[in-house]
Amino acid sequence: MASLPLGPRHQPPPQPQSQPQVQLLQQPQPDNDRLNLNSHRASAMDTDKEMSAAVIEGNDAVTGHIISTTIGGKNGEPKQTISYMAERVVGSGSFGIVFQFVLSVQFLKSKCPSFQAKCLETGETVAIKKVLQDKRYKNRELQLMRLMDHPNVVSLKHCFFSTTSKDELFLNLVMEYVPQNMYHVLKHYNSMNQRMPLIYVKLYTYQIFRGLAYIHSVPGVCHRDVKPQNLLVDTLTHQVKICDFGSAKVLIKGEANISYICSRYYRAPELIFGATEYTTSIDIWSAGCVLAELLLGQPLFPGENAVDQLVEIIKVLGTPTREEIRCMNPNYTDFRFPQIKAHPWYKVFHKRMPPEAIDLASRLLQYSPSLRCTALEACAHPFFDELREANVRLPNNRPLPPLFNFKQELAGASPELISRLLPEYVRRQIGLGLQHQQAST
């Protein structure tokens, strides 16, 4: 059995003669809904009537630029003019650039930048993601972010449009600013040659699953790009927020979706097999990969390409059975794979790893999508029982962030699952609150 490679940038080991030969499907076109509109500016504005976003004539500077815009008042309140000054670029990807702003904004010239910015009127720091508008496609990210309101999902404050000297139209999503992401936190521990303390692994992954439980059940959204870079961390409170919904989509049963989605290390095997009718369980696989990475300090499946990614998975899970392949993509059932035995999970992790952590990873990283636990079931796993203790504190003796202020994601959950999710002291508080509410009505 080949040993697991060390580090995210390892040299790929020599490929054995029995390496699976996988036919890769041709990369499909994006599954955005096409729009037959003559004016891309009109189509962009039509998606944001509620927020009354103005089109701002901007320049092409990167930082230090100030933009003023008017946001619509709510509940009869008057409209408000706010200004943003871009302070620095905090991220860039294929779908946008994120900037840090202090509330008063400027935008970056790139595919999809994110800025840190400051509002000049209030001094509030925000993040602004700048997305180039394509007249052929709807902007799904704005529509989805408007639906979401959860402590573990980054919140959308408002949005506006801006143009460049080349008359390009950009949608600017103004979001709460969270200073770090999971990738940088992991990098910090690796730089000190340390493992992340287990209490933080529990706290971070619990919040990831709580956020996924919400987006999967309430708006019914599949994120499709869960990875450390898209998990924001407030290093003071240790609250985690899922961000970057540029790849997210509401999945409809029977409707085909693109399979070339999700960053490689975190891509579910059914996507590698070219499945187009997948479910939100692809996010569960990705979150399982993040859990393993926090425990190991390095990616569990660091494939160099799509084929090598499947090889890395097979080295741990073994060759998928015919039934498992059918569950991932029925078109591959007659494809022959060399028979490789699964690597025991207890050998994947170090000897002192708690058995509850190993058990949770094994339940998340299953070939068959239907066998993976749901996000809410993951939250109820015994691995997180320490977080449900009444007097648990962070290593610096600060309290944990709120973990049990569930929203609508508990609707439909069984009483047995709810009893495992909510500590007894929380259930007592809820009961007392209901009694007080009933007495006052």
d(C-alpha 93, C-alpha 276), whole Å = 23
pLDDT of the residue at 342: 96
- Which residue is catalytic, options 225, 244, 283, 308? 225
> What residues does CATH 3.30.200.20 cover in the chain?
50-177
* Contact of 291 with 205, CB cutoff 8 Å: yes
**Locus of tokens 């700048």:** 130
d(C-alpha 34, C-alpha 334), whole Å = 35
pLDDT of the residue at 100: 52
d(C-alpha 59, C-alpha 42), whole Å = 21
**Locus of tokens 């007080």:** 436
Contacts 24+ apart (CB under 8 A), 52-55: 52/79, 53/158, 53/159, 53/160, 53/161, 54/160, 54/161, 55/160, 55/161, 55/162, 55/163, 55/169
Backbone angles phi, psi at 198, to 5 degrees: -60, -30
Mean pLDDT, the chain cut into blocks of 10 residues (441 residues total): 36 40 37 37 40 49 56 56 60 52 38 70 83 80 94 94 83 92 97 96 99 93 98 96 96 93 97 95 99 98 94 96 92 79 94 96 98 98 97 94 91 93 90 50 51
Structure tokens at 71: 């946001």
pLDDT of the residue at 367: 98
- Taken as a whole, the chain contains a residue count of 441
For the entire predicted model, the pTM comes to 0.79
Region of 219 (left: φ > 0; alpha: ψ -120 to 50; beta: rest) is alpha
CB-side neighbour CA atoms (13 Å) of 421 = 24
For the chain, report the end-to-end CA distance as a whole number of angstroms. Answer: 67
pLDDT of the residue at 3: 36
Burial 290-329 (b: 16+ CB within 10 A, else e): bbbbbbbbbbbbbbeebbbbbbbbbbbbbbbeeebbebbb
Say which CATH class 50-177 falls into.
alpha beta
Determine whether 31 is an active site residue: no
CATH topology classification for 181-385 = Transferase(Phosphotransferase); domain 1 (1.10.510)
**Locus of tokens 């999700």:** 262
Give strand pairing partners of 99.
Answer: 89, 115
Among candidate residues 246, 252, 285, the one with its CA nearest the CA of residue 140 = 246
Among candidate residues 287, 275, 300, the one with its CA nearest the CA of residue 216 = 287
Burial 43-66 (b: 16+ CB within 10 A, else e): bbbebbeebbbbebebeeebbebb
**What is the residue type of 139?**
N
Q: Cα separations (Å) of 161 from 119, 156, 313, 323, 371? A: 17, 15, 43, 49, 43
CA dihedral angle for residue 401, residue 263, residue 229, residue 120, rounded to 10 degrees: -110
